[in-house]
């Protein structure tokens, strides 16, 4: 009885899925033309950063340079809402420097007088988070606090995207006339749909690094990627360090546990 019912149900599902299989097989023949996205999209280039790998930690000088790039370029359009000014202490700025960075920040903290209902502004303090940027223009600049975790290969993606702007070649335009970059967008093969609303943000020498490093687009892109890794995972170095200690402890404990197991079972064939 059980067997009869199971055969009926089993064959029911099998016939239904085999019917679907025939439907998919019969629709196979149709030639599918490669789309511009499939042909031109590129995965991010490898990026060497101190924070990569199992033992990765931050190169604080590079993270500070990256912060300068964020401060002078990215912050015009992109928020960093999960990071507070006080967090900059952790990348090596002194208390006084953090205070100054906060109070000099162009976008002020919003205030609301709960008595009068008046809205106003005041300078930022170290306790404030980076103020939210409201962007009225075309496009939707994402918040950058988590960008390296919110994209596959995050840091490499940031670096490749920032350095990947180019024009479509004549050959590409001829092959994919429908993929012409629309007005107000910029061609970038590292962006999933190839056309990004963000104009190329970096230019040679636009930033003067406080530590005297030569400022190139390549250098800016690398540094800001390093900074954004820190912004997304400020605990990264501590996590790796604690992880090492935990693994060491567990290895010793596991070896001891194995010894205990061998010892207890030594006279018991099993």
Partner 1 sequence: MSFPWAQHYEPKNPVMKWVDERLPLPRLIFSAVGAGYPVPRNLNWFWNFGVLAGLALASQIITGIVLAMHYAANGAIAFDSVEHIMRDVNYGWLLRYAHANGASMFLAVVYIHIGRGLFYGSYKAPREMVWLLGVVIFLLMMATAFMGYVLPWGQMSFWGAQVITGFFSAIPIVGDPIRIWLLGGYAPDDAALNRFFSLHYLLPFVIAGVIVLHIWALHIHGSNNPTGVEVKDEQDTVPFHPYYTAKDGFGVGIFLLIFATFVFFQPNLLGHPDNYIPANPLSTPAHIVPEWYFLPFYAILKSFTFDFLWIPAKLWGVLAMFGSILLLFFLPWLDTSPVRSAKYRPTYRVFLGILLIDVLVLGYVGGAEPIARNVILGQIATAYYFAHFLVILPIVSATERPRPLPNSITEAVLKGETGSAGDTAFPERALPAE
* Contacting residues toward partner 1, per CB under 8 A: 2-3, 6-7, 9-11, 13-25, 27-28, 54, 82, 87, 142, 145-146, 149-152, 154, 192, 232, 234-235, 239-240, 242-244, 246-247, 250-251, 253-254, 257-258, 260-261, 263-265, 268-270
Report the candidate in 208, 239, 237 with the shortest Cα–Cα distance to residue 223: 208
CB of 16 to partner 1, least distance (A): 4
Looking at the Cβ atoms of 115 and 269, the one nearer to partner 1 is 269
Looking at the Cβ atoms of 11 and 135, the one nearer to partner 1 is 11
What DSSP letter does each residue of 61-113 carry, written as one string? Answer: HHHHHHHHHHHHTGGGT---TT-BGGGGGGGT--HHHHHHHHHH-SSPEEEE-
Q: Where are the beta strands (DSSP E) in 114-257?
A: 119-122, 186-187, 195-196
Looking at the Cβ atoms of 151 and 216, the one nearer to partner 1 is 151
CB of 187 to partner 1, least distance (A): 20
C-alpha triplet 114, 119, 120: angle, nearest 5°: 120
CB of 154 to partner 1, least distance (A): 7
CB of 171 to partner 1, least distance (A): 26
Contact yes or no for 93/135 (Cβ under 8 A):
no
Contact yes or no for 153/44 (Cβ under 8 A):
yes
Looking at the Cβ atoms of 154 and 202, the one nearer to partner 1 is 154
């Amino acid at each position: 009885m059980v067997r009869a019912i199971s055969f009926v149900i089993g064959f029911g599902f099998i016939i239904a899925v085999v019917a679907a299989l025939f439907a998919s097989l019969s629709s196979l023949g149709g030639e599918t033309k490669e789309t511009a996205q499939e042909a031109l999209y590129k995965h991010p280039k490898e990026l060497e950063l101190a924070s990569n790998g199992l033992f990765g930690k931050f190169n604080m000088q590079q993270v500070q340079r990256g912060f300068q790039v964020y401060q002078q370029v990215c912050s015009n359009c992109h928020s960093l809402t999960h990071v507070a000014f006080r967090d900059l202490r952790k990348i090596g700025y002194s208390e006084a420097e953090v205070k100054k960075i906060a109070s000099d920040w162009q976008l002020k903290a919003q205030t609301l007088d709960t008595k009068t209902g008046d809205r106003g502004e005041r300078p930022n303090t170290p306790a404030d988070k980076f103020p939210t940027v409201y962007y009225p223009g075309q496009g939707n600049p994402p918040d950058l606090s988590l960008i390296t975790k919110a994209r596959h290969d995050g840091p490499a993606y940031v670096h490749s995207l920032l350095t990947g702007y180019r024009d479509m070649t004549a050959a590409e335009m001829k092959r994919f006339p429908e993929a012409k970059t629309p007005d107000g967008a910029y061609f970038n093969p590292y962006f999933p749909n190839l056309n990004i609303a963000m104009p190329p943000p970096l230019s040679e020498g636009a930033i003067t690094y406080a530590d005297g490093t030569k400022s190139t687009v390549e250098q800016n892109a690398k540094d800001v990627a390093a900074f954004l890794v820190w912004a997304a995972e400020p605990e990264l170095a501590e996590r790796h360090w604690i992880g090492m200690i935990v693994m060491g402890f567990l290895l010793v404990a596991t070896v001891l546990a194995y010894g205990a197991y061998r010892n207890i079972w030594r006279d018991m064939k099993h």
